[in-house]
Chains A and B, each alone.
Chain A
Amino acid sequence: MLATLIIVFREVIEAGLVIGIVLAATRGVPRRSLWVGGGVVGGAAGACLVAAFADAIAKTMAGAGQELFNASVMAIAVLMLTGHNVWMAREGRHIAQEMKLLGNEVVAGQRSLAALAVVVSVAVLREGSEIVLFLYGIALSAGTTTISMFIGGAIGVAVGGIVSAAMYHGLMRIPTRHLFAVTSWLIALLAAGMASQATVFLQQAGLVTVLSHVVWDTSEVLSDGSLPGKALHTLVGYADRPTGIQLLVYSATLVSIFTLMRWFGQPISGRSQSISLVRQPD
């Protein structure tokens, strides 16, 4: 039961942190619960499919199927996160020009939400498929009853959910006029971390071989395997032993996102653009 609790907790928290950021970034946007909830449900369904076909996926592409699949879904998430930040910047400009048309406000919000719902699905799908495979293994092996497995799993989901909710409420304490500047950064860092992790999958598959030497080692200070290390890994792409190509991809992603935001956005301060997007609850 404890093993189930711990692994479920670890996976839930990874997906939960991503969901927390998405919720913070979409504060006050109408119908966000529907989109984010849909993302979770879609991701969970996808997780079951991925787990069921894990072996088939692994055997395609000359044995690199699992990595290519993971790298692809993460690349999609990176594009969606980038899209969100860019749309926020661009629609902010339009709205400023068109004197805050309510219609625009909603359209921009919904389009961004669709992108972020995909990100939520990807996070739930990746972590969820591991939970499904793990529970399947437990169910097959003797020694654990189904009931204790479910109790452990349920507690794991609950505790992971509470920690993620705590992070979300922490973000909510940030004053609204700063919140969207903060979430833009969080989303950009999340995207850069995912791009870096997608690169790791390509390295693991032997498809990317350049700059694969480890550049520094901070595993003594903060290990990737520890819970804080893993949380930071999810949030900002922390790696205790990053390779050259990871650092390159990470920086290139950040630079691209902020360049695109500047390109499509306007040169006034970011927060006033973002705030104009969102209808605050009365």
Chain B
Amino acid sequence: MKKSLVYSVGLSAYLLFSTAVHAEDFILTLKNNQFFPKVLTIPAGQKIKITVKNQDATPAEFESSDLNREKVVAANSEIIIFIGPLDAGTYGYFDDFHRDTTTGTIIAK
């Protein structure tokens, strides 16, 4: 009973994702505490879906003050995050657990 409820909520969430959000896909990979690509160019003015893949053995937190986003990425795991629509410009992001060394930039144009 409880399980079916969880499944149905999950399914509706999935349907909501696949129908309501038409977002362009981008991938950021985290390896050896570095993001790749370091500069990600995305189109301005539309909803974007970013998959952050953490290939390190330590957890990370994808965070951006510029984008007001934060999400924990467990070790050897991946998460999805929606951003935008953004005005053209440059937006910084970082791994909150290595905020000085593990950084990157998103350019919307």
**Chain A interface residues (CB < 8 Å from chain B):** 3, 7, 54-55, 58-64, 66-68, 129-130, 133-134, 136-138, 140-141, 200, 203-207, 209, 212-214, 219, 223-225, 229, 239-241
Q: Are A7 and B97 in contact (CB under 8 A)?
A: yes
What mask results when residues 75 to 93 of chain B are scored 1 for a CB within 8 Å of chain A, else 0? 1010111111111000000
Give the shortest distance, in Å, between A61 (CB) and chain B (any CB): 5
Considering only CB atoms, which chain A residue lies closest to B49 in the complex? Answer: A206
Taking CB as reference atom, which chain A residue is nearest B47?
A: A209
Count of chain B residues with a beta carbon within 8 Å of a chain A beta carbon? 41
* Bitwise interface map of B from 46 to 83 toward A, beta carbon under 8 Å scored 1, else 0: 01010000000111110001101101111101011111
| CB contact under 8 A between A200 and B68, given known A134-B97, A209-B20 | yes
Having A59-B77, A61-B13, A134-B96, one finds 6 other A-B pairs with CB under 8 Å, namely A7-B97, A63-B17, A134-B59, A204-B81, A204-B82, A206-B47
Q: How far is the CA of A223 from the CA of B64 in the complex (A)?
A: 11
Are the C-beta atoms of A62 and B97 separated by less than 8 Å?
no
Please state if B23 and A206 are interface contacts (CB–CB under 8 Å). Answer: yes
Q: Tell me the nearest residue of chain B to A224, going by C-beta.
A: B65
With A62-B14, A140-B58 as given contacts, are A212 and B68 in contact (CB-CB < 8 Å)? Answer: no
> Given A137-B59, A209-B21, A212-B85, are A239 and B10 neighbors across the interface (CB < 8 Å)?
no
Question: When chains A and B are docked, how far (Å) is the Cα of A239 from the Cα of B75?
Answer: 30
Could you jot down 27 A-B contacts, CB within 8 Å?
A7-B96, A54-B72, A55-B77, A58-B74, A58-B77, A58-B79, A61-B10, A133-B59, A133-B72, A136-B59, A141-B58, A203-B82, A204-B69, A204-B81, A205-B82, A206-B16, A206-B21, A206-B47, A206-B80, A206-B82, A209-B21, A213-B85, A219-B66, A224-B68, A225-B65, A225-B66, A229-B65
Q: Mark B2-23, 1 if CB is under 8 A from A, else 0.
A: 0000100110011011001101
**Chain B residues closer than 8 Å to A223, beta-carbon distance:** 65
From B9, B65, B82, B97, give the contact of A137 (CB < 8 A): B97
Q: Which residue of A lies closest to B72 (CB)?
A: A54
- Measured CB to CB, the nearest residue on chain A to B71 is A66
User: B residues within 8 A CB of A224?
Assistant: 65-66, 68
Q: Which residues of B contact A (CB under 8 A)?
A: 6, 9-10, 13-14, 16-17, 20-21, 23, 47, 49, 57-61, 65-66, 68-69, 71-75, 77, 79-87, 96-100
Q: Which residues of the partner chain B approach A136 to less than 8 Å between Cβ atoms?
A: 58-59
Determine how close the nearest CB of chain B comes to the CB of A234; give it in whole angstroms.
13
Closest 3 CB pairs between A and B?
A225-B65, A55-B74, A137-B58
Q: How far is the CB of B33 from chain A (nearest CB, A)?
A: 8
Considering the complex, give the chain B residue whose CB is closest to the CB of A11: B96
Cβ–Cβ contact B72 & A130, under 8 A: yes
Contact: B59 with A241, CB < 8 Å?
A: no
Contact residues in B for A137 (Cβ distance below 8 Å): 58-60, 75, 97
- Closest beta carbon of chain B to A75's beta carbon, Å: 16
A241 lies within 8 A of B23 (CB): no
Given A67-B71, A133-B59, A137-B60, the answer on whether A62 and B65 have CB atoms closer than 8 Å is no
Residue of B nearest to A197 (CB): B68
Contacts of B17 in A (CB 8 A): 62-64, 206
Chain B contacts for A134, CB-based, 8 A: 59, 61, 96-97
Which A residues are in CB contact (< 8 Å) with B6?
A: 60
The chain B residue sitting closest to A50, CB to CB, is B72
- In the complex the two chains form, what is the Cα distance from A7 to B97 in whole Å? 8
On chain A, the residues within 8 Å of B57 by CB distance are: 140-141
Contacts known (A55-B77, A204-B82, A219-B66); A64 close to B13, Cβ less than 8 A? yes
